Structure 1
């Protein structure tokens, strides 16, 4: 327990002039970090203060019995946090009798309301999106031979769910506490499952004998995603991005970084092992290549025919019976190679992510056109199995024994990302398709925006589910099923969304109140672009302006405009050569934009991000670069315009302003360093005229006149926006929050 002596020295009362209305509007307290009452701070949870008039006992309660602790002396003062009949609590379980020996005082309602604003600055509106998104699957067996399917669910956090394939019931489940997704999954000969997490880059091991999940640790210092895992001679190999590297792990030696697979390739996507050739095959991107890496000699050989190197990546690899099967991205093809001679044999039209093992060493299975296909290894012929997979393709394929005598061996595959799976026995006429009884998960919010009628939209990572939060009713409803929304803007009552992949522009007017309304597609940016990262609405011109980043394998983003009445799209590619355009705003006759040096450009380390403007009515017009007092900025990841026409932006953790009238700039460091390549921070102008933002999960407030900075302590924050009613919202993992 801490004693608080109340000083009678005159203090500047920071709360002078504040007025909290009946609905407890906290706007005027956003720049206040402490509330002062009678010369001392009004702390969190404090409801009053105690002045000792005569020496009195401080005690704890044991049932009805008062156990004396010490004597409080006349003249001392203490904070009060709660009370009971005849008793006052000074915290820590200690009490004082409320009698003539003490004086109890309470602050005014305005002071208490102000303290509530300061100490409870953020309001949690809870998870907004729930879904079952199965990223990948693999099969194994419990110690008693029960067939199991391991399914990795996206969520906040991600989850490993182990399903009993005989009963379609959850057998076990564990959170991947450091990750929101996971791509890499394989099962070793001891039936232990190995998992690669995203975005932590952690390796996990699951032991079905103990029903335990162990986090092994971060695999590669420069990797955030483990895309594939392969077990070879007791060694775990993994492929990562964005460093395009491989690692290996053993319990005895730990992790060893093997380096980048191919110079300039940031994505090491897939792995397969051929024991006879001591070769680890690695599929990379972007653009695609297939590397045969001899683990004994260290020699690396590119074996992908030239005509396939324009593909994005080699998405999946499987080695079976001396053949290597390489699933290409983005075309629906599987390439077949001799895995010892590396000779290319043929291509197969295929929709599945890979192929199954070959149980009889004669044939294996894959899927295409929503049908199961049987591939004969000796003849190279494919036979379609009757029946349909109900509009989905396999993302995992295995052979599973449903009986301990091995007589009931079936092909099992996870279909798509919705948790559907199939089983097929060679004696059946068609596969059996079922839904796994997987639990729903809170899904990480990828982006938020101001929707129609003052509602707040939350768009889910990968899933594309979009919900509307109604602040008046405190209710969230799922409204749209669409892709991942990189950007949003409202123009004259219509919501516009930039959807990934494909850099697609959609509109949604909200007139139909039914769930699952599909927005209207307007256009694709094309020109090698994949993400509409930035968007702003120009009401006077009925135009949406956009900044984009390219697909893997392409270099250089664009600025684009879409004129709504004429449905005319204008695209200007590589406006800043080799840069992506990741932020955009406007004022008067100009649009202002910022770039990121990350645009699949191998020379990105030698260039700086650019701040520029162009005529708001013509993306093909003259570009004017604007110099900023920043040292080698990597990205200008957010821009906004204040009411006085000053442009505010974020660049690598630095806040800056640019005044178009006098061309003067200001800068202020918010955080020392930033990570990522875009979508790492937002800057907005609050209803009180102050500048707010989030960067590296931190929320800040800056007075534009004095450049005085306040850092808020609160949940990790992303996607800060200002709603039409002036309230500010942000996302934290799967949850939507607001600043009071």
Structure 2
């Protein structure tokens, strides 16, 4: 079923979803050349990106329970499946550990109570539907960790899969006892999926691609199958276990025999559920279609078009014999009548789910017209002429945005889809998918000389090689240069259109889960005419990840991600480092009026001007970006669009003024 009605309703109800904000003054479209250091230097305009996105979901006794993504603190909402309305919601209280929960991927029901595992603080909570009480039960790690998966065994014992230690933990609700089953595979970081029966707990390992069984009594670990890539879905199927490893469905007996590797074609599955008669239903990614499978089938059979097109499906469950209930990551719930294939979609915000500010993914200023902010499956837009705000759905997370004429182009995670957005109508069109495992597009630029889009990307999962992709915005033709920097993924690119060269910034860690083959991140120069690498250099030995690079006036400025906020200026003629220093953290570089600027994470959120040294321009911006902190300057002005906390802000960064200390809004 198409999602057009949601986009229309979202636009019509934007005023209800977003808090009232002041209208920009008329002169905002014509920035002043002067700046008063003594006057107000910060304007804020309400939440930059509003979300009702969800992660975890569970069904119990005619109710659904969903957990939000991106809001602080997360919302646990109870939905009446008969009326399709949110009837109750609670916030998960902040736990004693450092950090704040922003969502809960893991949900399970045991003993009539709902359990939630959170991130980026890996804590376990319990919600009692009878009393409405929420309790914090246990912590399975420190800030930066995840409880990715949660399941209940037949006796009610809970099992959690965690990151970054790659472990399974047991929690006994009756006693509160916690057990750690230890290292399941050397170097593993993610236990992404779990299932349990009376004897074993079954775990899917994302880095190593293994399906393992852990004896609940002895703790003994047995490998049941090896996938071709990471395993992200596991389901109990009687005397068999099902697991999804990229484009393959693994169907194996619980003793490890009779392993069947069923091809899924170009897709993967993000959820599975098993009916009482043994039929397995799954939803495919990236399209969101519904499929049916039974052991012995050569391939799953599609039974319905996507109830929510190009959406991530968080959970599916059968309601009766003929209805499948699904939960979409963008913030929706759908029901599918299996005999007819007819689907009904419900937007959860419209159903009463509390919305809130999330960490933005990306931003783009269209001068004098609008500011676009990419969020999780939605784009929020502030009209600079009227002050009005609207939002519309996009098929994923826009990791970066670029403009070409009357269209914006977005690089989408987790599909690797490149889409266009019409500035006049908000109409979305897909140019195509990068493919080649390149599902993390980090940077996109437009080359006006060749009239092509340039995309830097990293693989998803245990691979190292990223790619430079060259996209024709008119035809959708995509040329993918995988491994353009051998043994590294790409985090950033910077175009010298006059010279016909695009410069690439590497990351030796790749998609994660595979040991690096290099110790230092490279910069490479790629000739767009010959489509060849002209040269490659490692500017600083031992520094492994370029977060961003930018070419300006014969120098390539680079910010490293994991190396104490290090930055450099590389002389492109000699390929040697001319300047270097330290910032509060990493972020995105931009050039404006002949100068180089950067906004960074950590230390409260900071902005600098870079030359031979770093000049501190602003602090207190907050650390609320999901990807790179960004600055978007108005032409002819020192005013830049950015974030103050999670609010959209316009900030005066005149280098002539003293250090600006920003006080982010509290909400």
TM-score bin, normalised by smaller chain: 0.7 to 0.9
Distance 2:472 2:86 in 1: 51
1:448 deviates by 1.3
Give the Å deviation of 1:638: 1.0
Aligned with residue 692 of structure 1, among 595, 598, 608? 598
Conservation of the 8 A alpha-carbon contact between 1:447 and 1:486: yes
Other-structure match for 1:138: 58
Instruction: State which of 108, 119, 124 in structure 2 corresponds to 1:198.
Output: 119
Is 1:542–2:468 an aligned residue pair? Answer: no
Which residue does the alignment assign to 2:223? 302
Q: Give CA-to-partner distance per residue, 1:29-83, whole Å, 9 cap, x none.
A: 7xxxxxxxxxxxxxxxxxxxxxxxxxxxxxxxxxxxxxxxxxxxxxxxxxxxxxx
Matched, 1:597 2:508: yes
Offset at 1:196? 1.7
Give the secondary-structure state (helix, strand or coil) at the position aligned to 1:540. coil
Q: Deviations over 1:243-283 (max 9, x none)?
A: 433233457676555444323444321111121xx321111
- 2:46 is matched with which residue? 126
Cα 1:569–1:396 shift into 2, 3 Å: closer
Contact 1:327 1:353 in 2 (8 A): no
Show CA shifts across 1:625-670 (max 9, x none).
1523xx621311012234x343222113122222335645212211
Q: CA deviation at 1:299?
A: 2.9
The equivalent residue for 1:354 is 272
Q: Call closer, same or farther: CA 1:171–1:27 in 2, change over 3 Å.
A: farther
TM-score by length of 1: 0.69
Partner of 1:170: 86
Q: What are the residue-to-residue correspondences of 1:482-501 with 2, within 5 Å? A: 482-492=395-405, 494-501=407-414
| CA distance in 2: counterparts of 1:627 and 1:210, whole angstroms | 60
* Equivalent residue, structure 2, for 1:279: 200
What is the distance in 1 between the residues matched to 2:609 and 2:455? 27
In 1, the alpha carbon distance for the partners of 2:297 and 2:533 equals 56
- Contact 1:448-1:457 at 8 Å conserved across structures: yes
Structure with the bigger RCO (C-alpha within 8 Å, sep 6+) is 2
Alignment of 1:374-523 (within 5 A): 395-398=314-317, 413-417=325-329, 418-422=331-335, 435=346, 437-439=351-353, 441-442=355-356, 443-451=358-366, 454-461=369-376, 463=377, 465-478=378-391, 481-492=394-405, 494-510=407-423, 513-515=424-426, 517-521=427-431, 523=432
- In the alignment, is the contact (CA less than 8 A) between 2:444 and 2:453 conserved in 1? yes
**C-alpha distance in 2, partners of 1:415/1:25?**
45
Alpha-carbon distance in 2 for matches of 1:556, 1:711 = 36
Q: Residues 518-537 of structure 1 correspond to what in structure 2 (within 5 A)?
A: 518-521=428-431, 523-537=432-446
Name the SS for the 1:156 alignment partner: coil
Q: Secondary structure at the match of 1:445?
A: coil
In structure 2, how many angstroms separate the alpha carbons of the residues matched to 1:383 and 1:608? 44
1:240 matched to 2:187? The reply is: no
Measure how far apart 1:449 and its partner are.
Answer: 2.1
Written as runs of structure 1 = structure 2, the 5 A alignment for 1:147-296 is 147-157=62-72, 158-176=74-92, 178-189=100-111, 191-216=112-137, 218-221=139-142, 224-232=145-153, 235-250=157-172, 257-275=180-198, 278-286=199-207, 288-296=209-217
Q: Does 1:713 align with 2:623?
A: no
Per the TM alignment, residue 187 of structure 1 is displaced from its structure 2 partner at its CA by: 0.9
Partners of 2:472 and 2:82 in 1: CA distance: 56
Q: CA shift at 1:383, angstroms?
A: 13
What TM-score, normalized by structure 2, do the two folds share? 0.75
Give the Å deviation of 1:202. 2.8
SS of equivalent to 2:449 = helix
CA contact (8 A) 1:720 1:728 kept: no
Q: Which has the larger radius of gyration?
A: 1
Q: Cα 1:506–1:348, aligned 2, differ >3 Å: closer, same or farther?
A: closer
Following superposition, the deviation at residue 228 of structure 1 comes to 0.9
How much is the aligned-residue C-alpha RMSD, in angstroms?
4.2
Of 492, 495, 505, 1:586 maps to 495
Which residue of structure 2 aligns with residue 624 of structure 1? 536
Higher mean C-alpha displacement, 574-583 vs 722-731: 722-731
Give 2:587's aligned residue.
Answer: 681
Q: What is the DSSP-based 3-state SS (H/G/I as helix, E as strand, rest coil) of the residue aligned with 2:204?
A: strand
Q: Is the alpha carbon distance of 1:429 and 1:684 closer, same or farther for their aligned partners in structure 2, counting shifts above 3 Å?
A: closer
Q: 2 CA distance for matches of 1:592 and 1:688?
A: 19
Query: In structure 2, do the counterparts of structure 1 residues 328 and 656 end up closer, same or farther at CA, with 3 Å as the change threshold?
Result: same
Q: 1:167/1:482 Cα in 2 relative to 1: closer, same or farther (>3 Å)?
A: closer
Tell me which residue corresponds to 1:641: 551
Secondary structure (helix, strand or coil) at the match of 2:481 reads: strand
* Whole-angstrom CA distance in 1 between matches of 2:387 and 2:64: 39
Contact between 1:529 and 1:557, CA under 8 Å: does it hold in 2?
yes
Structure 1, unpaired ranges of 5+: 1-21, 30-112, 142-146, 401-407, 675-679
Secondary structure of residue in 1 paired with 2:385: coil
Distance in 2 of aligned mates of 1:482 and 1:366:
23
Question: Judging changes above 3 Å, is the alpha-carbon distance between structure 1 residues 343 and 467 closer, same or farther for their aligned structure 2 residues?
Answer: same
SS in 2 for 1:473: coil
8 A Cα contact 2:419 2:428, kept in partner: no
Q: 1:593–1:612: 8 Å Cα contact kept in structure 2?
A: yes
Q: How many residues align?
A: 589
Q: 1:654 to 1:572 in 2, by over 3 A?
A: same
Contact 1:559 1:575 in 2 (8 A): yes
